[in-house]
Amino acid sequence: MGNPAKDHRYFMKEALLAAQEAFFSGEVPVGAVAVHNGEILARSGNLRETRQDPTAHAEILVLQEAAKKLGRWHLEGVTVYVTLEPCPMCAGAMVQARVERLVFGAPDSRMGAAGSTLNVVDHPAFSHRLEVVGGIMEEEGRVLLQKFFQERRKEKKIPD
């Protein structure tokens, strides 16, 4: 594809669609897509509540589907787009899978493992490191997350 910034926005919009689907399913609205050679291999939102599976984060699900479609667990040449900076589990899975690039939207100051709190994806002790691009359509992802948690607080009558 041509312009990387434009391409990043295109694929992040797809991740945002997955996040919106998660939102409407009662899941924390994080979405991800895995892209290889300009083609979307996998797209998912979080499914932890739906599956009652603590590992069913959007990133893990797209890594699994991408590996299945490519027929290999080494995901060289794959870019993962995710609406929120990955947690340590997801960042570690991307390192293990040899993902080439991570593009995320909003940073996560509590659990982010791509530079905000930890830097799992670029740790000097690891043999594989990812290229990281952050802040792509950051506001859109943040607004969706804020709306989700505001609604949760209202439902449970938890003070802000």
Residue in the structure block whose two tokens are 């670029």: 122
> Position 121: which residue type?
V
- Residues forming the active site: 59
Calpha distance 71→150 (Å, rounded)? 41
Could you give the C-alpha distances from 5 to 84, 86, 107, 143, in angstroms and in order?
18, 20, 18, 21
Q: What is d(CA 45, CA 49) in angstroms, rounded to the nearest whole number?
A: 11
